[in-house]
Amino acid sequence: MEDAQIVGLYWARDERAIDESSGKYGAYCGSIAYNILADRQETEECVNDTWLGAWNSMPPHRPVLLAAFLGRITRNLAFNLYKKLHREKRGGSNIDLVLDELADCVSGGDDPANVINTGDLTGDIDLFLSSLPETKQRMFILRYWYADSIGDIAERLGLSENNVSVTLNRVRKQLRDYLTDRGYDL
Amino acid sequence: MKKEELFEALQNIDDEKVISARDGKVKKKPIWIRWAALAACAALVIGTFAGVRFFKGRAGIGPETYPGGIVAVTAQYPAPTAVNLTPQKFMESDEHWEWFQAHREETAAASLLRGGMTQYYSDLMQLMLVSEDENTVCSPLNVYIAFAMLAEVTDGDSRQQILDMLGAPDIASLRKDVKALWEGNYADTPMLKSILANSIWLRDGVEYNTDTMSRLASQYYASSFSGVPGSEAMDEALRSWTDRNTNGLLTEYVKDMKLDPSTVMSIVSTIYYKAQWVNKFPENSTTQETFHGTLSDTAVDMMHMTSMMRVYNADQFTAVELGLTDSGSMFFYLPKDGVDVNALAEDPEVLTAADPEMNGNSWSFPLVNLSLPKFSVSEKSDLLETIKKLGITDVLDPGLSDFSPLTDDFDELYLSTANHAAMVEIDENGVTAAAYTELALTEGAALPEDEIDLVFDRPFMFVVTGQDGSVLFSGIVRNIAE
């Protein structure tokens, strides 16, 4: 079924919306949740909660790219669950490595004076990503949006794992410089 | 800032970047073959063909043939997508995703123009859709493209008046706009046909400006035909080209097309459109009911659907939007009690409702019991009176007109014919529509007197938009034949 039709079902409060979403995007959302949670049961719960989240947000939303819309709900739910469950037990999963890498870009400080309007920050990151060549942009998003493993990214982009690691390292430094230049106190 | 906060800040980056990261396909854009030196090219092949056969890469249409004595140079249009797939299979295939991605970029470019075209749409619809008892229908986009080509062959005030009518600041931006509109609205897939075509018809022995001819070929994808205007061979080629590019939907008008022997150039622009409803009407729900036309009550096939639908409430009308797969939408406008349907053709809010960017607070999303008659409306109109009202006068007057970019061979040229024919049909599955605009330039001193009164009228109005928001077709249905 087409995205617009699935969105139509949500708007019509028709429960087939959930079956259709699950059939078409279950695996996609599942891969995002699993990258963050590394646990099958938690992933399943998280994906089920995604359809509920979608049900509650359509209407009022009428997404054009349904995959991104659903993936974003999953990513948000999974990360919240991760923060709740994994505060103590650390190590091993993709997300821990991903977050450690992102630590390169930030100070890790918690100074309320440094609280940043994340709307602007997102916009500036978007501009930064637009300025990257296509492969680097995809690599960055696969790693820091989807939390895909370095191995998966290397395979998807037809590059060596080493190449991916080194490139990501450079892009993170570029991002940090870019944001610092724009006055962010990270 | 904490690393977790940065991870969360990434949450809302652009959807398309997110999708294309995983999707990972290289976008394939349709290949538009651009040509140069069309006139020179045409001159080279004169006399070498007895009958000319040309192949155009269009699905299931087969080779194009024209009678002997006609020299044709056919523009190359993008090849159709996924010719062998059924619409359903196509929608599930990767080909659809690739097509959609590439097409969306083009419609995005075209949708930026919408603002500048609103005044033109509104002026044209006001003049072409108002009427008494006749059904009226036109294709604003098709007329726009034909007049843009006319602007190319004129200069001075003649050109300026056309630019003013089209709402274009200058010829360079008009060229850019037409190209974006063309590429944004051209689709040839198993699910959606939105096929635009242009042609120019030239007289043997006349020396045309090579730059202008190549521009029409390259920027407007115009096929060119040269021969002897007034000859049966040329008329036959004209009818056959037009019939073919409107998919035979306008044969009732096309059969009367012919070129006057004094024709120096004729421009014919066409559109063929076929799209399916996102939500189809169930066929077994269609019933026979009465349509209260302005002339009489008639029994019609009334389609029914109950669903949540987007409904727009304005002072003068209530409108409902039905989505068209991979394309824009069709909007139906029912006048409120006491409001004449003609008033809608003059109501700027009609276009506001059809503009995807201007949703405002007037839209709601209630459950609707929709009853909509199946109908087919068609009309041929003479545009000469309409364009006069829109400020175009110089090209109509052989003494004032400036056709210097076209040819230096004639002192007195004028626009003698401006015809527009369009049809729109809806049923349970979707919309089928076609239109052509024919603009003929002749030499001579007399202005034609045959001016048709273009004022019409009826009980509901409709507008069909492309994905970029362009108004592909609009019309008013007042009576439906049994």
Q: What residue of A is the nearest CA neighbor of B2?
A: A108
Cβ of A122 within 8 Å of Cβ of B11? The answer is yes
Cβ of A64 within 8 Å of Cβ of B15? The answer is yes
- Asked if A172 reaches chain B (Cβ–Cβ under 8 Å), the answer is no
Task: Please give the structure tokens belonging to residue B156.
Answer: 């001075």
More confident site: A132 or B94: A132
Q: Residues A79, A129: one domain?
A: no
Best A138, A148, A172 residue to mutate vs chain B (most B CBs within 10 Å): A138
Look up residue A61 and give its DSSP letter. -
Q: What is the pLDDT of residues B185-194, one digit of tens each?
A: 888 988 899 9
H-helix segments, B65-155: 87-92, 94-111, 114-129, 140-152
Using CA atoms, how far residue B181 sits from A30, B42, B145, B351, in Å, is 40, 27, 9, 18
Among B55-69, B328-342, B456-470, where is mean pLDDT lowest? B55-69
pLDDT at B58 over 60: no
pLDDT value of residue B115: 62
Best B16, B18, B370 residue to mutate vs chain A (most A CBs within 10 Å): B18
Chain mean pLDDT for chain B: 80
Cβ contacts of B7 on chain A, cutoff 8 Å: 79, 98-99, 102, 144
CATH number for B38-112+137-276+380-449 (one of 3.50.50.60, 3.40.50.150, 3.20.20.80, 3.30.497.10): it is 3.30.497.10
Q: Residues A76, A107: one domain?
A: no
Cβ contacts of B322 on chain A, cutoff 8 Å: none
Cβ contacts of A126 on chain B, cutoff 8 Å: 13-14, 17
Class of residue A109 by CB neighbours under 10 A (exposed 0-12, middle 13-18, buried 19+): exposed
- Asked if A85 reaches chain B (Cβ–Cβ under 8 Å), the answer is no
Task: Show me where the domains of chain B are located.
Answer: 38-112+137-276+380-449
Min Cα distance B128 → chain A (Å) is 33
On whether residue A170 sits in a domain, the answer given is: yes
Among A9-18, A117-126, B199-208, where is mean pLDDT lowest? A117-126
Rounded Cα distance between B339 and B346, Å, is 12
Mean pLDDT of the B332-358 span: 85
Residues 6+ apart with CB under 8 A from B293: B458, B459, B478, B479, B480
Q: What residue of A is the nearest CA neighbor of B91?
A: A2
Say if CB B200 and CB B152 are below 8 A apart: no
pLDDT at A70 over 70: yes
Cβ of A11 within 8 Å of Cβ of B365? The answer is yes
Q: Residues A67, A11: one domain?
A: yes
Cβ contacts of A12 on chain B, cutoff 8 Å: 307-308
Mean pLDDT of the B356-376 span: 74
Chain B residues contacting A via beta carbons under 8 Å: 1-22, 24, 91, 278-279, 307-308, 323, 325, 365
pLDDT value of residue A61: 82
Best A24, A64, A106 residue to mutate vs chain B (most B CBs within 10 Å): A106
On whether residue A41 sits in a domain, the answer given is: yes
- Torsions phi, psi of B255, nearest 5? -60, -20
pLDDT bracket for residue B255 (50, 70, 90): very high
Best B2, B5, B6 residue to mutate vs chain A (most A CBs within 10 Å): B6
Q: Which of A39, A56, A85 is the last residue before a domain boundary?
A: A85
Q: What is the pLDDT of residues B300-310, one digit of tens each?
A: 998 888 777 77
Tokens 């080493």, located at residue: A162
Q: Residues A114, A65: one domain?
A: no
Q: Return the half-sphere exposure (C-beta side, CA atoms, 13 A cut-off) of residue B255.
A: 4
Task: Please give the structure tokens belonging to residue B145.
Answer: 């493209």
Cβ contacts of B5 on chain A, cutoff 8 Å: 106, 118
| Minimal Cβ distance to A129: which of B12, B17, B365 | B17
Q: Residues A17, A47: one domain?
A: yes
Min Cα distance B324 → chain A (Å) is 10
Q: Which of A85, A118, A143 is the last residue before a domain boundary?
A: A85
Among A33-42, A86-95, B17-26, B206-215, where is mean pLDDT lowest? A86-95
On whether residue A186 sits in a domain, the answer given is: no
Say if CB A31 and CB A149 are below 8 A apart: no
pLDDT value of residue A110: 57
Cβ contacts of A8 on chain B, cutoff 8 Å: 278-279, 307-308, 323
Q: Residues A44, A78: one domain?
A: yes
Cβ of B1 within 8 Å of Cβ of A106? The answer is yes
Q: What residue of A is the nearest CA neighbor of B325?
A: A4
pLDDT value of residue A88: 56
Residues shown for chain A: 186
Q: State how many domains chain A has.
A: 2
Contacts A–B by Cβ distance under 8 A: 113
Per 3-state DSSP, chain B is made up of helix, strand and coil in percentages (nearest 5) of: 35, 30, 40
Chain mean pLDDT for chain A: 83
pLDDT bracket for residue B444 (50, 70, 90): low
Cβ of A146 within 8 Å of Cβ of B16? The answer is no
Rg (CA), chain A: 18
On whether residue A15 sits in a domain, the answer given is: yes
pLDDT bracket for residue A135 (50, 70, 90): confident
Mean pLDDT of the B230-247 span: 91
pLDDT value of residue B177: 87
Residue A103's SS3 state is helix
On whether residue A16 sits in a domain, the answer given is: yes
* CATH code at position A74: 1.10.1740
**Which residues constitute the domain of residue A167?**
94-181
| pTM of the complete model | 0.61
Q: Residues A71, A99: one domain?
A: no
Min Cα distance B323 → chain A (Å) is 9
Residues shown for chain B: 482
- Asked if A5 reaches chain B (Cβ–Cβ under 8 Å), the answer is yes
Q: Residues A136, A158: one domain?
A: yes
Interface of A with B in 11-40 (CB under 8 A): 11-13, 28
Q: What is the pLDDT of residues B134-180, one digit of tens each?
A: 899 999 999 999 999 999 999 999 999 999 999 998 999 898 888 88
Rounded Cα distance between B226 and B205, Å, is 9
Mean pLDDT of the A151-159 span: 86
| Minimal Cβ distance to B11: which of A4, A75, A114 | A75
Among B32-36, B100-104, B168-172, B277-281, where is mean pLDDT lowest? B32-36
pLDDT value of residue A15: 87
Cβ of B15 within 8 Å of Cβ of A65? The answer is yes
| Minimal Cβ distance to A107: which of B1, B18, B325 | B1
Rounded Cα distance between A32 and A49, Å, is 13
pLDDT value of residue B217: 87
* CATH code at position A135: 1.10.10.10
pLDDT value of residue B83: 81
Q: Which of A28, A55, A85 is the last residue before a domain boundary?
A: A85
pLDDT value of residue B30: 35
Q: Residues A45, A63: one domain?
A: yes
Asked if the interface predicted TM-score (ipTM) of this complex is over 0.90, the answer is no
Cβ of B12 within 8 Å of Cβ of A157? The answer is no
pLDDT at B49 over 60: no
